[in-house]
């Protein structure tokens, strides 16, 4: 099945086959490369154009090794870099050197992110390397480009169908490390007094520089056609000089994954534990079902429903949290992905004044820029209403509105031992009808990320 898919992709994405006459003409252009006989004038140098045409003919004639040798004769700066990168990328594809092909095609997209044909070739290189998430992303971006020929569109859609059935089989890993100066590591107010009470230093805003680490791993096994089983685990830590502000969150989830044409259904069980300052803050376990549906080549829908039972080790007690989420993504113009998300959560605890319900709305965009840069930005608004007034805080139940703004910048062309640098700027603000819960926070995260 896989070999048949590769042959199909090669026929549709590889350059058109040159006629034998073209190949012969290109070889004739190289005849001056042979040593001159005694007494004859030295041969004239072969132009870069002739070498490139000969390499194209050799590649289309099924001789990628000869094409590579011919391109070695092109002097640096003598030819358009896009032409050379494209030919080297095609040669790498023919020789099943997926990493070289990816590097060459990424170099072209760094100069011009709008090269749809090159993005399709990069998607193919990721697919053949088994990197289905990256392949899917580039196929969807290419499908959003205007003026895509019908046969190419049909082939890209067939590749997306194959990716949906093969995606993420085997192991996946991800690591992110960042240094994070933070103006408010405890999400606390700047106020010094609350009514007649003076707040202690621990209850007020504290700044610091943290080290953030985010690691996750997963394994997906194919049970039978249309059915997979997936297990994922993750650990996120945030460490500061003052250990009482340290935070760790560990989670594990597992369940089957059903594939129905354009739709995916994924029920799972999950467990989670959170530590603050080295002590266990909460433990939870629950059930969740999530799904996605491809509405069109450029529109994709995601949703989720779940319930988790939580035991807070401190004074909050025990309870459960119900969640529902909805998201939609749209690829635009061949280089940009727009996303919108809405969510609802309700936590029910032993005390009504600790219980709450929350509505969320988020918008974000990510776009590929020249020179390998990828920029993103987003906005999220959360509105949380508590179930009853809390003693000593007045007759009104607590109401919070939290705003979060962020922007990210990374460069896919910079490789530091397999890691890509990333800069994230984030601003948060909570407005509450109880002053104690107001806060402002600015965070800078400068780090590296890697998925493999």
pLDDT band for 334, please (50, 70, 90 cuts): confident
- Arithmetic mean of pLDDT over the chain: 84
77, 85 Cβ separation under 8 angstroms: no
* Dihedral over Cα of 63, 66, 70, 72: its sign: positive
> What is the rounded distance in angstroms from the CA atom of residue 69 to the CA atom of residue 97?
16
Position 273 scores a pLDDT of 97
| Statement to judge: residues 133 and 61 lie in one domain | yes
pLDDT(166) > 70:
no
How does pLDDT run across 201-228, given as a tens digit for each residue? 666 788 999 999 999 999 988 888 889 8
How does pLDDT run across 112-135, given as a tens digit for each residue? 888 889 999 999 998 888 778 788
Q: Which two tokens stand for residue 133?
A: 């998430």
Predicted TM-score (pTM) of this structure:
0.75
Choose the most confident range, by mean pLDDT, from 7-11, 134-138, 265-269: 265-269
How does pLDDT run across 228-269, given as a tens digit for each residue? 899 999 999 999 988 888 999 999 999 999 988 788 999 999
| Statement to judge: residues 160 and 183 lie in one domain | no
pLDDT band for 446, please (50, 70, 90 cuts): very high
| Statement to judge: residues 183 and 150 lie in one domain | no
Position 21 scores a pLDDT of 42
> What is the rounded distance in angstroms from the CA atom of residue 12 to the CA atom of residue 399?
58
Q: Which two tokens stand for residue 45?
A: 């140098």
| Statement to judge: residues 198 and 152 lie in one domain | no
| Statement to judge: residues 143 and 185 lie in one domain | no
> What is the rounded distance in angstroms from the CA atom of residue 324 to the CA atom of residue 287?
12
pLDDT(43) > 50:
no
SS3 content of the chain, % helix, strand, coil (to 5): 30, 45, 25
Residue 78 sits in a domain whose CATH number is 1.25.40.10
Position 198 scores a pLDDT of 61
How does pLDDT run across 29-41, given as a tens digit for each residue? 444 444 444 444 4
Q: How many domains does the chain have?
A: 2
| Statement to judge: residues 293 and 345 lie in one domain | yes
205, 192 Cβ separation under 8 angstroms: no
pLDDT band for 442, please (50, 70, 90 cuts): very high
Burial tier of 239 (Cβ tally within 10 Å: 0-12, 13-18, 19+): middle
Q: Mean pLDDT over residues 391-400, rounded?
A: 86
Single residue among 106, 131, 166 that ends a domain in this structure: 166
Position 428 scores a pLDDT of 96
Q: What percentage of the chain reaches a pLDDT higher than 70?
A: 85
Q: Which two tokens stand for residue 316?
A: 């909050």
Residue 31 burial (CB count, 10 A):
9
The residues facing 182 across adjacent strands are 208, 443
How does pLDDT run across 286-328, given as a tens digit for each residue? 999 999 998 887 899 999 999 999 999 877 889 999 999 999 9
232, 254 Cβ separation under 8 angstroms: yes
| Statement to judge: residues 136 and 204 lie in one domain | no
| Statement to judge: residues 88 and 183 lie in one domain | no
Single residue among 166, 184, 208 that ends a domain in this structure: 166
Position 36 scores a pLDDT of 40
Q: Which two tokens stand for residue 118?
A: 């090159």
| Statement to judge: residues 158 and 266 lie in one domain | no
Domain holding 56, by residue range, is 2-35+46-166
| Statement to judge: residues 277 and 401 lie in one domain | yes
**CA separation, residue 68 to residues 51, 87, 106 (Å):** 10, 9, 19
Q: Which two tokens stand for residue 395?
A: 């007759």
Strands 227-239 and 208-224: antiparallel
**CA separation, residue 245 to residues 8, 185, 191, 204, 310 (Å):** 55, 7, 20, 13, 22
| Statement to judge: residues 361 and 348 lie in one domain | yes
Position 23 scores a pLDDT of 43
Position 167 scores a pLDDT of 58
Q: Which two tokens stand for residue 92?
A: 């790498």
How does pLDDT run across 340-391, given as a tens digit for each residue? 999 999 999 999 999 999 999 999 999 988 888 899 999 999 999 999 998 7
| Statement to judge: residues 133 and 192 lie in one domain | no
Q: Which two tokens stand for residue 177?
A: 């490390």
The more confidently predicted of residues 10 and 219 is: 219
The more confidently predicted of residues 15 and 75 is: 75
Q: Mean pLDDT over residues 404-418, rounded?
A: 86
> What is the rounded distance in angstroms from the CA atom of residue 322 to the CA atom of residue 306?
6
Nearest to 71 by CA among 60, 19, 83: 83
Assign 316 to helix, strand or coil: coil
pLDDT band for 332, please (50, 70, 90 cuts): confident
pLDDT band for 1, please (50, 70, 90 cuts): very low
Q: Which of 32-36, 166-170, 309-313, 438-442 has the lowest mean pLDDT?
A: 32-36
Position 7 scores a pLDDT of 36
């Amino acid at each position: 099945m896989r070999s048949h898919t590769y042959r199909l992709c090669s026929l549709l994405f590889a350059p058109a086959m040159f006629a034998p006459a073209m190949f012969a003409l290109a070889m004739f252009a190289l005849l001056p490369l042979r040593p001159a006989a005694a007494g004859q004038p030295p041969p004239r140098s072969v132009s870069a154009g002739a070498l490139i045409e000969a390499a194209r003919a050799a590649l289309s004639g099924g001789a990628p090794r000869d094409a590579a040798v011919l391109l070695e004769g092109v002097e640096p700066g003598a030819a358009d870099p896009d032409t050379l990168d494209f030919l080297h990328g095609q040669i790498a594809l023919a020789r099943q050197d997926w990493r070289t092909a990816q590097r060459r095609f990424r170099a072209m997209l760094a100069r011009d992110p709008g090269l749809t044909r090159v993005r399709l070739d990069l998607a193919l290189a990721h697919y053949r390397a088994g990197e289905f998430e990256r392949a899917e992303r580039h196929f969807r971006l290419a499908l959003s480009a205007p003026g895509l020929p019908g046969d190419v569109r049909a082939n890209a859609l067939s590749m997306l169908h194959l990716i949906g059935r093969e995606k993420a089989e085997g192991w996946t890993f991800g690591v992110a490390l960042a240094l994070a100066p933070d103006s408010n590591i405890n999400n606390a107010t700047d106020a010094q007094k609350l009514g007649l009470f003076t707040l202690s230093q621990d209850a007020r805003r504290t700044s610091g520089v943290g080290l953030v680490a985010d690691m996750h791993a997963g394994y997906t096994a194919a049970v039978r056609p249309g059915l997979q089983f997936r297990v994922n685990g993750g650990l996120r830590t945030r460490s500061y000089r003052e250990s009482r502000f340290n935070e760790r969150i560990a989670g594990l989830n597992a369940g089957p994954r059903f594939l129905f044409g354009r739709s995916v259904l994924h029920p799972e069980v999950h467990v989670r534990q959170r530590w603050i300052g080295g002590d266990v803050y909460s433990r939870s376990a629950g059930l969740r079902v999530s799904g996605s549906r491809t509405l069109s080549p450029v529109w994709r829908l995601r949703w989720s429903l779940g319930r988790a039972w939580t035991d807070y080790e401190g004074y909050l007690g025990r309870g459960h949290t119900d969640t529902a989420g909805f998201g939609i993504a749209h690829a635009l113009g061949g280089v940009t992905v727009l996303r919108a998300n809405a969510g609802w959560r309700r936590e029910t605890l032993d005390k009504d004044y600790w219980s709450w319900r929350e509505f969320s709305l988020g918008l974000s965009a990510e776009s590929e820029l020249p020179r390998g840069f990828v920029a993103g930005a987003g906005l999220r608004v959360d509105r949380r209403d508590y179930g009853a007034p809390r003693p000593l805080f007045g007759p009104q139940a607590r109401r919070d509105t939290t705003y979060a703004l962020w922007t990210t910048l990374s460069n896919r062309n910079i490789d530091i031992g397999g890691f890509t640098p990333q800069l994230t700027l984030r601003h948060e603000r909570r407005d509450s009808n109880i002053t104690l819960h107001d806060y402002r926070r600015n965070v800078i995260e400068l780090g590296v990320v890697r998925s493999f």
